[in-house]
Amino acid sequence: MTASEASPALNITPREGAAERLSRMIQIPTVSAEMEQRGAEPFEQFIALLEELYPLTHAQLERERITDLGLLFHWRGTDSQQDPAVLMAHFDVVPIDESDTWKHPPFEGRIANGYVHGRGALDDKGPLLVTLEAVENLLATGFTPARDVYLSFGGNEETFGDAAEAIANTLEDRGITPWLVLDEGGAVVDAPLPLVRGLAAMVGVGEKGATTIELSARGDGGHASAPPMLTAVGRVSRAVQRLTPETFPARTPAAVTRMLADFAARSRGPARLLYRALAGSPWLTARVFTMLGGEPAAMVRTTVAPTMLSGGTAANVLPSQASATVNLRIALGESVQGTVRRIRRRIKDRRVTVTVLEAGEPSPESATDNEQFALITEAVKRSHPTAHTTPYVMMAATDSRHFHRFSPATYRFAPLAMSAELRATIHGVDERVAMSELERGEIFHRTLIENL
C-alpha cells in the first residue's frame, strides 16, 4: 500500500503488549552519566532489545550506527524527490539518587494500576517506544510513506553527548535537508496557564540555549586565623550574589505571543481579556511573566542558576583558589557572547575569571503557519481529540538543537498527556507513564507518518 492509497483513518489494529515492551526497555539501566561505572554493555543490550522487539523495522529499514551511541534508521518513501521527515528520541536516562524512595524500583519496569513505572518511562523511552510502535504497525500493513522517514535515536542526550550531533552532521554532509524534525519536548497538559481550562498540546517551536560557565578567582593561601579583607571564596561568592534574576532583560518571544493569542481565543470572561491584552503587548507580557516567576519568567528571559561551588582543602586553611559553576538558559534572540559580556559587567570584578565550559546558542523559532505545524496539529486531533495545539518556548535542551542550522521546521513534542504531578517525576521520583497514553502516542505517530 502506498501513501496515496492510504487514508488518515487507515484501519490498523496495533500489536498488543506495548506496556510490556516498554517495561523491558526500562529494565536496562542506560544511564549515560554512569558509563564509566556501568560500561557500554547496557547500551548494547538496549540496541539488541530493539532489534528483538521491532523485527519489521530492522528488516525493512536501513539501520546505521553513527558513533557508538547513535542509531539512524532510513525508511524510503514513494517520492525520493521530497525532503524527508526526521523523528527523534533518546534512549539514555538520568541517574537515580539512592537516597530517594520510589514506590516501585526505578529499573524494574513495574506495570501496575494502569501505568508503566520506572526511570525513562516519560523521558524518553516512552516517546521512543510510541514512535517505533507506529512504524512497526504501519510496516505490518505494507504501508510506504510518501516521503522518506528517518528515525534518529541517541544514547547520550542527558550528558549533552555527540550521538545526535553526529547524526545531524551525517545528514547535512549527505545534502539532506529535513522537511520536518520532531523530537521530545512539550506534552499534552491540562490548564497550562492560570485561568486557562482544557487540554493543550504544547509544541516547542524553539528552545533556549543551554550554557555552562565557571567563575573562578585566586587569592593568597594561608592560615584562616588571619584572613584578608576578601578571600578567593568571598570574591567568588560575591560574584555569584550579584547574578540575580534581574541580570538579564525580559523580552517576549514571538512564540509566547502566539501562545497567548491561542489561549485568548479559548478563554472566556476576564481570562479572555487578560490573554488578549498580553498577546497584543509583548512589553506587558514580559513584565507580567517576570512577576509570576518560575516557568513563566523563564520563558521571557535568560535564567542564571549557580549549581556548584568549589574551593578549600581544610576548615582552617585559606584556599588559594575558588570557583562556582553557573548554568544559564539563554533566551531566544540572545547569544552566548552577549550573555557572557553582560555577566562580566554585572560582576564588576576583573579578578573573577569567567570561563565558558559549555556553549549552547538558543535556537531560532520555527513557524506555526506552515504545513509542518498543521501536520502535527492534525495528528494531535487524532490522538488527543480534545487538546488544542499551541506553540511555546522550551526551557530544556534537546537533541534537535543540532538540526536547526539546516532544518528550519524543527519542533519538540512528546504525544503523551502529563499532569503537573507526572511532569515533576521527570528526572525525579516515581516516573511513570499511563498505558492508555502509549496507545494515544502510537496513534499520533501513525497519523503523522500516514499524512506525510
Can you give the pLDDT at residue 97? 93
Can you give the pLDDT at residue 5? 47
Architecture of domain 209-358: 2-Layer Sandwich (3.30)
Which residue, among 78, 408, 347, 389, has the nearest Cα to 215 in the 3D structure? 347
pTM: 0.91
Place of cell 499534552: 188
Which residues lie below 8 Å from residue 307, measured CB to CB, with a gap of 6+?
A: 325, 326, 327
* 3-184+364-372+392-450 and 209-358 in the same fold: no
- Cell (9 digits) for 106: 526505578
- Eight-state DSSP code of residue 84: P
CATH superfamily of 3-184+364-372+392-450: Zn peptidases (3.40.630.10)
* Averaged pLDDT in 10-residue chunks for the chain of 452 residues: 47 91 98 95 98 98 98 96 97 96 98 98 98 98 96 96 96 97 96 80 95 94 85 95 94 93 86 92 95 90 95 90 96 95 96 95 94 98 96 92 94 96 96 98 98 95
User: Angle CA(36)–CA(41)–CA(45) in degrees, nearest 5?
Assistant: 145
Q: Could you give the C-alpha distances from 138 to 33, 145, 180, 198, 364, in angstroms and in order?
A: 35, 9, 19, 31, 33
Which residues lie below 8 Å from residue 236, measured CB to CB, with a gap of 6+?
A: 215, 216, 217, 309, 311, 322, 323, 324, 352
Can you give the pLDDT at residue 11? 72
User: Angle CA(394)–CA(241)–CA(289) in degrees, nearest 5?
Assistant: 35
Domains of the chain, residue spans: 3-184+364-372+392-450, 209-358
Task: Give the separation between CA 304 and CA 308, rounded to whole angstroms.
Answer: 13
